[in-house]
């Protein structure tokens, strides 16, 4: 069993967990089993982001057709090759952000105990790729979980919340205390599942997500100020009138529906 403190200490030997890669390894087999059951379908391939020592990979293999994992750290990669000998397991020593997801033609599940420092770019990459996603199940630090489920008006509400909520049904699956990791992080985590709720339209999404990111470019400024670099004032005022928006409104005060309507008016 990889998810145990004795195994982690044994295979790490002289190695230290690398903070720069957000390495905190799961050492609770019960939690790992729960995550894998949520994440997998027997007939589907699971893509794993950041397998580390393989605690989650081992369990994902149990419940999936195959596992394709992306690990940035050469030390982890070497350990993984040694620890998991299953022909259904493939690991690529690669930064997930540089990986080519166009190689997947079939529907996939995605799972990972995500490294904190790149959680947001990883999620944007997944959402904006052409991957045919069945479900994404991720462990994130609680703060990122809050941003994902944030509603308009909240401090945490931003482009990430809007992209997620436009594309997926978000479910908070588990709260995970810090003591199930080695080394223990300073904050608690949460497991979240994301299930697609609409047919993909990449051309529309590219335009809409780019528009939303621009609206949040300077959070402290009014939406009007952020839009000024994209459209002339007359066009902005006309759009505000059509959407019934006040001139001093900020991006974080708009609902997903209001963003959609505003984008439609501009485009």
Select the residue whose beta carbon is closest to ligand SAM and give its number. 50
Give whichever of 114 and 251 is closer to ligand SAM, judged by the CB atom: 114
Cα–Cα distances in Å, from 207 out to 64, 201, 211, 231, 244? 35, 10, 6, 14, 22
Give the shortest CB-7-to-ligand SAM separation in angstroms. 11
Give the shortest CB-147-to-ligand SAM separation in angstroms. 18
Which of positions 45-74 make contact with ligand SAM (CB under 6 A)? 49-53, 55-56, 70-73
**What does residue 36 show for φ and ψ, rounded to 5 degrees?**
-65, -40
Window 104-133: contact mask with ligand SAM (x via CB under 6 A): ---------x-x--x---------------
Give whichever of 98 and 229 is closer to ligand SAM, judged by the CB atom: 98
What is the number of other CB atoms lying within 10 angstroms of the CB of residue 231? 13
**What does residue 40 show for φ and ψ, rounded to 5 degrees?**
-105, 160
Q: Is position 259 an interface residue for ligand SAM (rule: CB under 6 A)?
A: no
Window 192-231: contact mask with ligand SAM (x via CB under 6 A): ----------------------------------------
What is the number of other CB atoms lying within 10 angstroms of the CB of residue 154? 13
Instruction: Name the token pair of 115.
Output: 């490294």
Q: What 8-state DSSP symbol labels residue 221?
A: S
- Options 7, 22, 28, 208; binder of ligand SAM; rule CB under 6 A: 22
User: What count of Cα atoms within 13 Å lies in the side-chain half-sphere of residue 242?
Assistant: 15
Q: How many residues bind ligand SAM (CB under 6 A)?
A: 24
What is the distance between the terminal CA atoms of the chain, rounded to a whole angstrom?
A: 54
Selected range binding ligand SAM among 37-45, 90-98, 223-231, 233-241, rule: CB under 6 A: 90-98
Give whichever of 116 and 266 is closer to ligand SAM, judged by the CB atom: 116
Residue with tokens 């990449």: 202
- Nearest 5°: the CA angle 96, 80, 190 is 55
Query: Residue 24 and residue 36: Cα distance in Å, rounded?
Result: 18
Tell me which residues touch ligand SAM (CB under 6 A).
21-26, 49-53, 55-56, 70-73, 76, 95-97, 113, 115, 118
């Amino acid at each position: 069993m990889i998810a145990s403190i004795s195994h982690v200490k044994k295979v790490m030997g002289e190695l230290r967990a690398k903070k720069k890669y957000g390495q905190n390894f799961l050492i609770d087999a019960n939690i790992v089993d729960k995550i894998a059951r949520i994440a997998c379908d027997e007939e589907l391939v699971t893509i794993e982001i950041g397998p580390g020592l393989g605690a989650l990979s081992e369990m994902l293999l149990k419940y999936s057709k195959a596992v394709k994992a992306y690990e940035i750290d050469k030390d982890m990669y070497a350990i993984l090759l040694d620890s998991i000998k299953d022909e259904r397991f493939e690991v690529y020593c690669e930064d997930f952000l540089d990986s080519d997801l166009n190689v997947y033609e079939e529907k996939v599940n995605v799972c990972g105990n995500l490294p904190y420092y790149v959680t947001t770019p990883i999620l944007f990459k997944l959402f904006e790729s052409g991957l045919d996603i069945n479900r994404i199940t991720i462990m994130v630090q609680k703060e990122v979980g809050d941003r994902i489920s944030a509603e308009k008006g909240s401090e945490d509400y931003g482009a990430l919340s809007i992209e997620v909520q436009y594309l997926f049904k978000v479910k908070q699956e588990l709260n995970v205390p810090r003591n199930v990791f080695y080394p223990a992080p300073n904050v608690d985590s949460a497991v979240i599942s994301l299930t697609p709720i609409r047919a993909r339209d990449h051309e529309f999404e590219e335009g809409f997500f780019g528009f939303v990111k621009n609206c949040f470019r300077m959070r402290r400024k009014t939406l009007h100020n952020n839009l000024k670099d994209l459209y002339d004032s007359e066009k902005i005022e006309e759009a505000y009138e059509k959407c019934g928006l006040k001139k001093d409104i900020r991006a974080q005060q708009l609902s997903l529906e209001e963003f959609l309507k505003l984008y439609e008016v501009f485009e």
